[in-house]
Amino acid sequence: MAEKKNLFSGIQPSGDFTIGNYYGAIKNWVKIQYDYNCYFCIVDLHALTVPQDAAALRRRTMECYAMLIASGLSLEETTLFVQSHVPAHSELMWLLNCFTYMGELSRMTQYKDKSVKQGENVRAALFDYPVLMAADILLYQTHLVPVGDDQKQHIELTRDIATRFNHLYSPTFEIPEGYYPKTGARIMSLQEPTSKMSKSDTNENAFISLKDAPDTIVRKLKRAVTDSEAAVHYDEKNKPGISNLIQIYASACDMDIENAQREVEGLSYADFKLRVAEAIIENLKPIQAEYARLMSDKAVLEEYMKVGADKAERTAVKTLRKVQKKVGLVPRGR
C-alpha cells in the first residue's frame, strides 16, 4: 500500500467554534482522518496577532482542543496539538523570515483587511502571520492543507518560500498544496447572510456556537434574517437568508441542496426554522455530551495535549534541524 500523504491544518482559538467551522471544516476533517497522516493544530500563537484577553485565550485553547475530540477527531489516528507546545514552530518561523520579502507580505489581502481594523498600532506579528503559517505547514513535510478560500494566498506564499529555500540549498521541504473539498459548506451569518458566519462576530445572534443549548439554537434561528416572500426555496442571490438556512439543513442532514430543498418546500418560515433548529440540535447532542465529559477532567485533557505535542515535535524537530544545518547554524553539543 502506498504511504499516506501528510495533511496539516490549523484553527485559531479566537472564539467558540461555530456550526460554520463544523460543517465547513471540522466535519470533513473527521471524515478524512483515516485517509491521510493528519496533523491538526490549535494555533494559539496566531491568535495573539490581535489583542487577546489572557485568561480567555487560555480557556478557549482548552475548549477548542476538547471540542475537536468531541467532534470525532481521534487521538490515535491524528496528531492533535497546541502550536505553542511545539517551539519548533516559532524557531522555523524566524529562519523562514530570513527568506521572505517585505514585498511579498505587503501583498497579502488578509493583512490589508485585518490591519485596517486594528487602527494605529498594528502589531508586527500580524504582518508576519503568514510566515508562522508557512512554518506550521513546512515542518511536517505537508502535502495537503485543507483551508477556506481566504487562505489561498497564504498557501501560495508558503509554496514560494519553500521553493526558494529548496533552490538556494537543496531539497528540504515538501511543496504543499491547498485542499479545497467540494463538499465543504460555506455557512453564512444568521444576521447578515451575505457575509461568512464567524466565531469572532460581536453579535451573538449571528452565529450558532457548538456549545449553544437547544433553546438558544431555537431562539437564534427564530431571529435569523429571511425575506418577505414566504417561499422556502434556494436562491443565493435574491434570498440569501433562506438559502443559507437550506444549506445549514442540508449539511446537518448530510444531503445535497436539491434534496434538502425538496424536504422543506411548502413549509412556513416559522416551521422551516424549527426544522433547521431540530436538525442542528440532533447533530450537536452527542458532541456536546462528549465535550462536557472531556471538560470535566482538565488533567486528562492536559495529558492528551502533551501526547499530541510530543508526537508532533518528533517530526517537527527533524525538519528544523535540517534547516538549521543548511543555513549554517552550529549545532549545540549534546
Closer by beta carbon to ligand AMP, 204 or else 271: 204
Mask: binding to ligand TRP, 18-57, rule CB under 6 A, as x and -?
A: -------------------------x--x-----------
The single residue among 47, 80, 86, 133 that binds ligand TRP, judged by CB under 6 A, is 133
Based on the number of CB atoms within 10 Å of its own CB, is 332 exposed (0-12), middle (13-18) or buried (19 or more)? exposed
Is the Cβ–Cβ distance between 178 and 152 less than 8 Å? yes
Least Cα distance to 233 among 270, 258, 214, 206 occurs for: 258
Type of residue at 222: K
Stretch that binds ligand TRP, among 131-139, 204-212, 289-297, 321-329 (CB under 6 A): 131-139
Does 196 participate in binding ligand AMP (rule CB under 6 A)? yes
Query: Smallest gap, in angstroms, from Cβ of residue 186 to ligand AMP?
Result: 5
Stretch that binds ligand TRP, among 2-10, 57-65, 112-120, 186-194 (CB under 6 A): 2-10
* Subset of 137-176 contacting ligand TRP (CB under 6 A): 137, 145, 147, 151
Type of residue at 43: V
Is the Cβ–Cβ distance between 253 and 260 less than 8 Å? yes
Instruction: Name the residues annotated as catalytic.
Output: 114, 196, 199
Query: Smallest gap, in angstroms, from Cβ of residue 132 to ligand TRP?
Result: 7
Which of the choices ligand AMP, ligand TRP, none does residue 44 contact, using the CB cut-off of 5 to 8 A by kind?
A: none
Does 243 participate in binding ligand TRP (rule CB under 6 A)? no
| Residues near ligand AMP (CB under 6 A), total | 14
Query: Smallest gap, in angstroms, from Cβ of residue 14 to ligand AMP?
Result: 6
Beta bridge partners of 10: 41
Does 147 participate in binding ligand AMP (rule CB under 6 A)? yes
- Tell the residue number behind the cell numbers 489572557, with chain if given: 54
Rounded to whole angstroms, what are the CA distances from 114 to 48, 50, 59, 118, 130?
Answer: 13, 9, 24, 7, 13
Mask: binding to ligand AMP, 18-47, rule CB under 6 A, as x and -?
A: --xx--xx----------------------
Kindly give, in sequence order, each residue whose CB lies less than 8 Å from that of residue 56, ignoring residues fewer than 6 positions away: none
DSSP states of 144-157: EEE--GGGHHHHHH
- Tell the residue number behind the cell numbers 491544518, with chain if given: 9
Least Cα distance to 128 among 144, 147, 110 occurs for: 110
> d(Cα 274, Cα 100) in Å, to the nearest integer?
51
Mask: binding to ligand AMP, 257-296, rule CB under 6 A, as x and -?
A: ----------------------------------------
The HSE-up count of residue 297 (CA atoms within 13 Å, CB side) is: 7
Enumerate binding residues for ligand TRP (CB under 6 A): 8-10, 12, 43, 46, 133, 136-137, 145, 147, 151
Enumerate binding residues for ligand AMP (CB under 6 A): 11-12, 20-21, 24-25, 147-148, 185-187, 196-197, 199
